[in-house]
Amino acid sequence: MFNKILIANRGEIACRIAKTCRRLGIKTVAVYSDADADALHVQACDEAFYIGGSAPKESYLLGEKIIQIAIASGAQAIHPGYGFLSENADFAEACQNAGLVFIGPLAQSIRAMGSKSAAKTLMENAQVPLVPGYHGDEQDPDFLKAKADEIGYPVLLKASAGGGGKGMRIVQDAASFIDALDSCKREAQNSFGDQKVLVEKYLGRPRHIEIQVFADKLGNCVYLFDRDCSVQRRHQKVLEEAPAPKVSPEIKRAMGEAAVNAAKAVAYEGAGTVEFIAEADQEGNAGHFFFMEMNTRLQVEHPVTEMVSGQDLVEWQLRVASGERLPLLQDQIQLNGHAIEARIYAENPENQFLPSTGKLLALEMPEEVQHEVRIDTGVRAGDVISPYYDPMIAKLIVWGQNRETAVSKMRVALEQVRIVGLSTNVAFLGRLLRCEPFCSANLDTGLIGRDEEFLLHKDTQVDIESLAFLLACRLNEEVNVASYVGSEMASPWRLQDGWRMNGVLLREFAFFLEGQPSQAHIVQYCYQTQILSFAGKTVHFSYRNDGTSFYITIDGHKHSAGVIKNTSNPVILHLFRNGRHQIWNYQDPLEHSHVEEGASGKLTAPMPGKVISIQIKVGDKVKVGDPLIVVEAMKMEHTITAPIDGEVGEINYAQGDQVNEGDQLIIFKSTDA
Ligand code: ADP
Ligand code: ADP
Ligand code: MG
């Protein structure tokens, strides 16, 4: 076994690898970029080396530099994590040439699976079932179209060198084929420097089911069950679970064996995942399945497999890479219970899942419970989610005796997540965990799209309990301010609780939800009698708190919730209750109500990213909705359109520039000016 390794990655996966190393007594070396100087992964490792700028190209993708650091630090091996250099065959080879062990498969296996087209040809020869389609070398548009006609519409175009859903185009009919092919090729060229595409039959109700495989250098190869990753948005996974529900034991065995054949066909070593797509029936039962691709690395969702197999897959990777045999052979691997993973992202589900960046002003997660509740994260409160990397904040993984228990536990765990500072998908995940198709395991990749009405519904429910929590937070605030007396003793004269020598004080508090000052909710509170009134209802009310958790009693009924005050703007209160996150404003009755600035002649960037193209020039007249600028942010292109009719006065950025959320992109001259 190694005694020191370098982790060529960042974020949660670097922290997760370091954890296993620490348990096994292996020293770890971290690398970091400018943006990550104080990152958690740096702290999680025994030593750390600076590599360069924040952009991955200037740091985490500098293979040669990382290899030199590994040698200088005395590391014997490099763990690439996922993403970055993990599926880079040249890097794997360079490690070997430098006398370092690459913790992953051989370069030749990565190459064999790197091209989706070549991989399919290989799989065809290894008797692994393929989605009907064309994956050959002939790329003439008319030829490809003839193939699509033959396969029958709808078809799916994929970039052969693709990943992360990039380049994929669904083609509904023959008439739209050529346009879709052009745009698929363009994106493939831009993202992967390779225009090659393949055509597949687009399945009606596809389920994404994948098999975890593992092989050692001695010729043993096993599979560690299956995972379902059908709950996706933009072809990216949101929820993953193991084992995959509603798949017969026969199909599971056939998939497992097909996956092992796939791995053997490329002389695989280490951890890998063979992804299949299966057709689902009305109830979601998996039928025919087909090979989709093989990911030659540890996968983001590996923890669910760890939970149900009781194994540490990073430990397996380390053992196998150092030449040991697999810790368990096929018939020794046992399945126990059910696990679900939810990916918590800094993104805005209500606004097309645009990534969100900023500082994590508060980050509270449920408590970890061994074998039951696990949190893999690479950030802590106070850290920044930057535009440079994947916007994942954490992975929340729960285990239950069966699927139903795991689903309930995940709901409870999600209700305990409190994040302030940027938009997240937490409430959206909570709704997913409650939607009927997910609960009944009627899964397919169209689940989110079909149920958007319910899933993306912004919750604006207002009730007396919500207001009571906000009131509790305000009252608590006033008590705290009053009792903060430096060296002086707390004095009753400093309390601002409205106590009066004679008489009763009734105070009014106004709260409004998510920027709706016109609809303030007025709460009246009487200090002496602890009576609260709202919307014609009068109740007895008391509270206590413990940090950000508040416990209220309303007419004898106790409730709990989290209320977090925004540190940079204390009139903003974040209410976390029953899995919902509402952002409230407190209106101080002593201040005049704050009126929003009128529609301004400025256009700001809705998210951080890179300017891909500018469709207008200074002096152009534009109408509402006209496309102005295309910004690429985390795996996706977004077109920013004109918010008003007007004339373009100034353009502050050029093609290729990096912009931050809130940066002023364009200044308009109003047309009537
Ligand atoms: P999987 O197929 O395992 O679910 P995804 O494709 O969803 O994986 O996520 C892997 C992607 O995450 C990589 O392709 C890369 O874009 C991104 N990534 C790479 N390294 C990191 C990291 N350290 N932290 C977060 N995201 C990363
Ligand atoms: P990537 O390299 O981007 O992960 P994949 O080939 O693994 O690309 O496909 C990503 C996702 O696209 C799958 O998980 C599935 O949801 C969807 N998909 C892929 N192929 C098909 C198909 N033939 N029919 C329907 N959906 C598909
Ligand atoms: Mg894939």
For ligand 3, an ion, list residues with CB under 5 A.
Answer: 275
Does an H or E element contain 647, and which? Answer: strand 646-651
pLDDT class of 351 with cuts at 50, 70, 90: confident
Instruction: Quote the pLDDT of residue 597.
Output: 31
Does 278 contact ligand 2 (Cβ within 6 A)? Answer: no
Asked whether residue 672 carries a pLDDT value surpassing 70, the answer given is no
Structure tokens at 414: 């999600």
Q: What is the C-alpha to C-alpha distance for residues 45 and 467, in angstroms, rounded to an integer?
A: 45
Does 39 contact ligand 2 (Cβ within 6 A)? Answer: no
132-201 placed in CATH 3.30.1490.20: yes
Query: Among all chains, which residue has been given the structure tokens 């449920």?
Result: 366
Ligand 2 centroid, distance to 84 Cα (angstroms): 21
Domain layout of the chain by residue ranges: 4-103, 132-201, 206-455, 464-587, 602-669
548, with CB counted inside 10 A (0-12, 13-18, 19+), is: middle
CA-closest candidate to residue 408, choices 417, 398, 418: 398
Does 83 contact ligand 1 (Cβ within 6 A)? Answer: yes
Does 300 contact ligand 2 (Cβ within 6 A)? Answer: no
Query: Which residues make Cβ contacts (< 8 Å) with residue 43, sequence separation at least 6?
Result: none
pLDDT tens, position by position, 561-596:
999 998 777 788 999 999 999 999 987 655 433 333
% of residues, the chain, pLDDT over 70: 92
Query: CA 75 from chain center: how many Å?
Result: 31
Ligand 1 centroid, distance to 623 Cα (angstroms): 39
Residue 297: strand, helix, or coil: coil
Does 231 contact ligand 1 (Cβ within 6 A)? Answer: no
Section 61-69 average pLDDT: 98
pLDDT class of 544 with cuts at 50, 70, 90: very high
pLDDT tens, position by position, 180-193:
999 999 999 988 88
CATH topology assigned to domain 4-103:
Rossmann fold (3.40.50)
Instruction: Quote the pLDDT of residue 664.
Output: 85
Query: Which residues make Cβ contacts (< 8 Å) with residue 153, sequence separation at least 6?
Result: 171, 172, 173, 174, 202
Nearest atom in ligand 1 to the alpha carbon of residue 297 is 3
Query: Among all chains, which residue has been given the structure tokens 């990152």?
Result: 39
602-669: CATH class = mainly beta
Q: Is 297 a catalytic residue?
A: yes
Asked whether residue 142 carries a pLDDT value surpassing 60, the answer given is yes
Q: What is the C-alpha to C-alpha distance for residues 529 and 505, in angstroms, rounded to an integer?
A: 9
Dihedral over Cα of 37, 41, 44, 49: its sign = negative
Q: What is the C-alpha to C-alpha distance for residues 490 and 484, in angstroms, rounded to an integer?
A: 7
367, with CB counted inside 10 A (0-12, 13-18, 19+), is: exposed
Q: Do residues 100 and 29 make contact, with C-beta atoms less than 8 angstroms apart? A: no
pLDDT tens, position by position, 435-467:
999 999 999 999 999 988 889 987 788 999 999
Exactly one of 207, 297, 343, 580 is catalytic; which is it?
297
Q: Which residue has the higher pLDDT, 567 or 95?
A: 95
CA-closest candidate to residue 338, choices 232, 256, 239: 239
621-622 and 646-651 as β-strands: parallel, antiparallel, unpaired?
A: antiparallel
Q: Do residues 506 and 544 make contact, with C-beta atoms less than 8 angstroms apart? A: no
Asked whether residue 615 carries a pLDDT value surpassing 50, the answer given is yes
Query: Which residues make Cβ contacts (< 8 Å) with residue 114, sequence separation at least 6?
Result: 87, 89, 161, 296
Burial 445-475, CB ≥16 within 10 A → b, else e: bebbeebeeebeeeeeebebbbbbbbbbbbb
Q: What is the C-alpha to C-alpha distance for residues 21 and 192, in angstroms, rounded to an integer?
A: 33
The hierarchical CATH code for the domain 206-455 is 3.30.470.20
Section 274-290 average pLDDT: 96
CA-closest candidate to residue 214, choices 131, 302, 149, 291: 302
Does 131 contact ligand 2 (Cβ within 6 A)? Answer: yes
Section 343-356 average pLDDT: 92
Instruction: Quote the pLDDT of residue 671.
Output: 54
Ligand 3 centroid, distance to 164 Cα (angstroms): 7
Ligand 2 centroid, distance to 205 Cα (angstroms): 12
The hierarchical CATH code for the domain 464-587 is 3.30.700.30
Asked whether residue 361 carries a pLDDT value surpassing 90, the answer given is yes
Q: Do residues 80 and 9 make contact, with C-beta atoms less than 8 angstroms apart? A: yes
Reported pTM: 0.85
pLDDT mean across residues, the chain: 90
Residues in the chain, overall count = 673
656, with CB counted inside 10 A (0-12, 13-18, 19+), is: exposed
pLDDT tens, position by position, 393-438:
999 999 999 999 999 999 999 999 999 999 999 999 999 999 999 9
pLDDT class of 13 with cuts at 50, 70, 90: very high
Beta strands (DSSP E) in 296-423 are: 338-345, 347-348, 354-355, 358-359, 362-364, 373-377, 384-385, 392-400, 418-420
CA-closest candidate to residue 508, choices 527, 483, 480: 527
Q: What is the C-alpha to C-alpha distance for residues 279 and 129, in angstroms, rounded to an integer?
A: 13
Nearest atom in ligand 2 to the alpha carbon of residue 232 is 16
Q: What is the C-alpha to C-alpha distance for residues 201 and 196, in angstroms, rounded to an integer?
A: 17
Residue nearest to atom 14 of ligand 1 (CA): 83
Give the number of whichever ligand sits closest to the CA of residue 163.
2
Does 10 contact ligand 1 (Cβ within 6 A)? Answer: yes
Instruction: Quote the pLDDT of residue 487.
Output: 41
Ligand 3 centroid, distance to 600 Cα (angstroms): 43
23, with CB counted inside 10 A (0-12, 13-18, 19+), is: exposed
Ligand 2 centroid, distance to 156 Cα (angstroms): 9
Instruction: Quote the pLDDT of residue 499.
Output: 56
pLDDT class of 627 with cuts at 50, 70, 90: confident
Does 84 contact ligand 1 (Cβ within 6 A)? Answer: yes
pLDDT class of 503 with cuts at 50, 70, 90: low
CA-closest candidate to residue 588, choices 480, 472, 509, 487: 509
Residue nearest to atom 12 of ligand 1 (CA): 83
Dihedral over Cα of 385, 387, 389, 391: its sign = positive
